[in-house]
Amino acid sequence: MYKLFDYQRKLVTEARNALAQGNKGVLIVSPPGSGKSIVIAEIARLAVKRGRHVLFFVHRQELVKQIKDSFKKQNVDLTHCTIMTVGKVANRLNILPKPNLIIVDESQHSRAKTYRKIFDYYAGVPKLGFSGSPWRLSGKGFKDIYSAMVQGPTTKWLIEHHKLAPFTLYGYQLGDKSTLKHSSTGDYTKQSIDDFTRSIIHGDIIKSWLKFAKDRKTIVYCHSISFSKIVAREFRDAGINAAHVDSHTPAQRRKEIMDSFKQGRIKVLCNVNLVSEGWNVPDCSCIVLLRPTESLVVYLQQAMRAMRYQPNKQAIIIDQVGNFKKFGLPDTDYHWSLEDREKHPHKDEGTAADGPAIKTCPECFAVIEASKVTCPLCGHDFSAEIRKIKQKKDQKLQAIKAQQIHINYISTKKPGELSNIHELSLYAKARGYKHGWIFYQAKKRGWL
């Protein structure tokens, strides 16, 4: 059986207490890599032990196999469990045994029609949802599905307490981002990402990997099968054993590639949407991001895949598409909520929600907090840059102050004393007059 950490036991207790208080839906939030499958297995074990029947579902078959293995290791009696993909459950509602508890993994997908169909069919059955990032591009929340939320420790806490590996993120951006266009869902269109990847010099992908992560077991995230195959070929041409895999790869061949990667015979695994959720290779210590995205969920699941804990491990994240500029570092403290939020929020470059301002070191390309005077990795001195930024801010403040003094002076005059349109504009601004007043006064004086 698994030996749960204290924070995992706390999650189990708080989730069960929330259900006991009458909540029909409880969402459990804990960062990727924090061991959600262990918490799920323990809750299922306790439920079955009390004579309950548990229904577990998730959206991918690979995750079904993983949770079955976790249930077996936790001594869960599988004869009292239904474990399937969401599609299979939705198509078998009239023949499946009625559950006493529903458990859903990767619950950020809970708003999908198939999920809602199951929830509606079992309307009176308590449900537990699990997610590392309950966030949707649409901005729609989950308060109509889950009435309570239980939160686990932050990513920072997990790193500090040796439950996740510390990381270094390199922002070595490639490609022309002006080609990226948004779809109706809020993320980038496939066509625009195709255009974006065509602007990437493929040799630079290999060059940056050799510089930052040579010989590390690496997962590369791509947006399309064709691009992933190209990247894998580029690695092989450079003498690095690499392979491509996707959901259309024949099952036996996919298993061979995955096993070879786990065993170290394949050094670099290029993929499309296959190893973002639930897949666990603890000794993978490098991630290369080649898929630009507007989805925080996609970013965290991919970027943190190399942060599974091992003693003395320092994960390397090479973000070559600038996702970190929108979302910050993986250990940013995001404030999760069941409520709706602003649709498709866009963050300014260099900042992230709930996190400190960040910058990229011009020498080593490490992404660090903007307040750092020296780069903690290469020792680059930012003093000159900081002075320039301060000078620009001071100049801007002085210009604003001078303009305000001028406005205050103009506002003391009478309208007839104003000598040009600029002074009319300043006077109107000081007095709160509408733009039409400026036009009227200028035309009256023959200036228009």
Q: What's residue 160's pLDDT?
A: 97
At 247, is the secondary structure helix, strand, or coil? coil
- Which one-letter amino acid corresponds to residue 330? P
The reply to whether 196 and 272 lie within a common domain is yes
| Structure-token pair, residue 378 | 């290469």
Instruction: Output phi, psi for 342, to 5 deg.
Output: -60, 135
Residue with tokens 């591009």: 137
- Percent of the chain at pLDDT above 70? 96
H helix intervals, 238-364: 251-262, 296-303, 324-327
Within a domain: residue 291? yes
Q: Which contiguous run of DSSP H or E holds residue 158? A: helix 155-160
C-beta separation of 16 from 47 below 8 A: no
Q: Are residues 326 and 204 in the same domain?
A: yes
Q: At what angle do helices 421-431 and 435-444 cross, to 10 degrees?
A: 140
Average pLDDT rounded to a whole number, residues 260-283: 83
Q: Does 124 lie in the same domain as 267?
A: no
| 314 and 353 share one domain | yes
Residue 133 domain-assigned? yes
Structural domain count of the chain? 3
**Is residue 241 over pLDDT 80?**
yes
In a domain, 195, yes or no: yes
Residue 228: per-residue pLDDT: 95
The pLDDT, as a whole number, for residue 439 is 87
CA 87 to chain centre: 25
Domain boundary among 366, 381, 396: 381
Classify residue 371: in a domain, yes or no.
yes
Contact between residue 287 and residue 300 where contact means Cβ atoms under 8 Å apart: no
Alpha helices in 263-382 (DSSP H): 296-303, 324-327
pLDDT of residue 75: 96
- Decide: 367 and 329 in contact? Cβ < 8 Å: yes
Which CATH number characterizes residue 26's domain?
3.40.50.300
Please determine, for residue 115, whether its predicted confidence score (pLDDT) is greater than 90: yes
Residue 228 is which amino acid? S
The answer to whether residues 227 and 205 touch, using CB atoms and an 8 Å cutoff, is: no
Do 434 and 291 share a domain, yes or no? no
Question: Can you give the residue range of the structural domain that contains 67?
Answer: 6-154
Nearest C-alpha neighbor of 338 from the set 104, 108, 15: 108
pLDDT tens digits for range 155-199: 999 999 999 999 999 998 788 888 999 988 889 999 999 999 888
Give which of 47, 57, 54, 38 is closest to 20, Cα–Cα: 47
Give the model's pLDDT for residue 176.
86
Q: Do 396 and 377 lie in a common domain? A: no
Which pLDDT belongs to residue 276?
59
Q: Which residue has the tokens 């092989």?
A: 236
103, 187: one domain: no
Q: Is residue 225 domain-shared with residue 146, that is, in the same domain?
A: no
Write out the DSSP string of 356-369.
--EEE-TTT-BEEE
* Same domain as 321, residue 183: yes
- Nearest Cα neighbor of 145 from 157, 155, 131 is 131
Taking residues 114-134, what's their average pLDDT? 95
- Domain-embedded: residue 159: no
Q: Provide Rg for the chain, Cα atoms.
A: 27
Phi, psi of 319 (to 5 degrees): -95, 100
Q: Say whether both 46 and 133 belong to one domain.
A: yes
Residue with the bigger pLDDT between 101 and 424: it is 101
Domain boundary among 119, 154, 189: 154
pLDDT of 408 higher than 90? no
**Angle 202-213/225-237 helices, nearest 10 degrees?**
60
Is residue 335, in this structure, part of any structural domain at all?
no
pLDDT for 335: 87
Q: What is the pLDDT of residue 12?
A: 97
Amino acid at 277: E
Do 218 and 71 lie in a common domain? no
Same domain, yes or no: 220 and 352: yes
46-57 average pLDDT score: 97
Q: Cα(437)–Cα(443) distance, rounded to whole angstroms? A: 10
pLDDT tens digit sequence for 364-374? 999 998 888 99
Please write the tens of the pLDDT for every residue from 327-375.
999 999 888 999 988 765 444 333 345 567 899 999 899 999 888 899 9
In a domain, 160, yes or no: no
- Give 372's Cβ-side CA count (13 Å radius): 19
d(CA 235, CA 207) in angstroms, rounded, equals 10
Q: How far is CA 243 from CA 82, 205, 230, 257, 346, in A?
A: 35, 15, 10, 7, 34
Single out the residue in 124, 154, 184 at which a domain terminates.
Answer: 154
Question: DSSP labels for 177-240?
Answer: GGG--B-TTSSB-HHHHHHHHHTS-HHHHHHHHHHHHTT--EEEE-SSHHHHHHHHHHHHHTT-
The H helix count followed by the E strand count for the chain is: 15, 14
Q: Yes or no: say if 284 and 308 are a contact pair by the CB < 8 Å rule.
A: yes
Is the residue at 298 inside a domain?
yes
* Average pLDDT for the chain: 90
* Per-residue pLDDT tens digits for 13-49: 999 999 999 999 999 999 999 999 999 999 999 999 9
In contact, 330 and 353? CB cutoff 8 Å: no
Look-up of token digits 């666990």? 280
